[in-house]
Amino acid sequence: MYRSAHRFTRWIIGSLTLALVVPALAQAQSTRPSVTTGGAALLTPQSATLLGKVTPNGAQTTYTFQYGTSTLYGALTPAGAAGAGTKAVNVIAELTGLAPATTYHYRLVAHNRNGTVKGANRVFRTPPQPLGLSLAATPNPVPFGRPAVLVGALTGTGSANRQVLLQSNPFPYTQGFQPAANVQLTNPQGHFAFPLLSVPLTTQYRVVVPTRTEVVSPIVTVGVAVRVSTNTSRRRVRTGGIVRFFGTVRPARPGAQFAIQKLRRGSWRTVAGGITHGTRGGVSRYAKRVRIRRGGRYRVFVAIVDGNYVSSAGRTVRISRAF
């Protein structure tokens, strides 16, 4: 019995010793990770994908990519897990928010309980941002004979201090685009503005880069609204009384339809109408007698349908009832 107890004690001691030694041996057999900084793929002006390989060498290993515009780096990707195996693992990280046409340095860094290993430095260069043009008109439509301005921006790599040219194509748009102003230079932010003292009729505009004619803005059609003056024979009238609406349309648009409209519940509703006449002094005229049953806000709307100009309304006048 004594011998049996002795054997059992030796078995317990041996088991405990093995339990302590095996992990120690496993830990002793693991080493620092091995890393290989790979190439950069899927390059765009603002993004890139970094590749690499990490060998954990028997211990739980994490990795990250350091990157920046110099070997000081300054930025890093979120940490990833490479496991605890003994074979190389492919790793990947996606970068966003990069600057176009810029050289970046990067390297792969891995860490486990045995230490940190930094891979070799490599570089990539983001491609330039393609040039692009935007264009807008203010105001649009523009009242006949009044000024407007065309503003826009050239975006992309090399957009500062770049030549831009304004072109126009007036209605009926058969002339084709021709230069409409002198060449300008964009400012350091790529912005530009072309003032127009007046727009004679509805016209298409676009902006191009003379040295890169394939870089062209969207076409902006600037509508020229006829100018409508509004006069009334009186502003106060008894219920059922007559008010004469009269005025001019500039430029002259004889035969254009006009409507006397009253504002009702947020919408303009036609209560009377007629046709403009005459071309004396470059203007047409209109006149209409309207029976007023209720006071309110009125205006004169002139409809243009031929494309040279766009429809427009005169100022709003208030007619009140006299009790």
pLDDT digit string, tens, across residues 167-199: 999 999 999 999 999 999 999 999 999 999 989
pLDDT of the residue at 7: 57
Give pLDDT, residue 84. Answer: 96
Q: What is the mean pLDDT of residues 209-221?
A: 95
Q: What is the DSSP secondary-structure string of 27-71?
A: HHH----EEEEEEEES--SS-EEEEEEEE-TTS-EEEEEEEESST
Residue 157 predicted with pLDDT over 50: yes
Give the DSSP letter of residue 235: S
Q: Can you give the pLDDT at residue 1?
A: 46
Q: Specify the pLDDT at position 21.
A: 41
pTM of this prediction? 0.74
Encode pLDDT of 85-96 as tens digits.
999 999 999 999
- According to DSSP, residue 282 is labeled G
CATH number of 132-224: 2.60.40.10
How is domain 31-125 classified at the architecture level of CATH? Sandwich (2.60)
Note the pLDDT tens digit of each residue in 200-211: 999 999 999 999
Task: Considering the domain delimited by 226-321, tell me its CATH architecture.
Answer: Sandwich (2.60)
Run of H or E including 81? strand 80-83
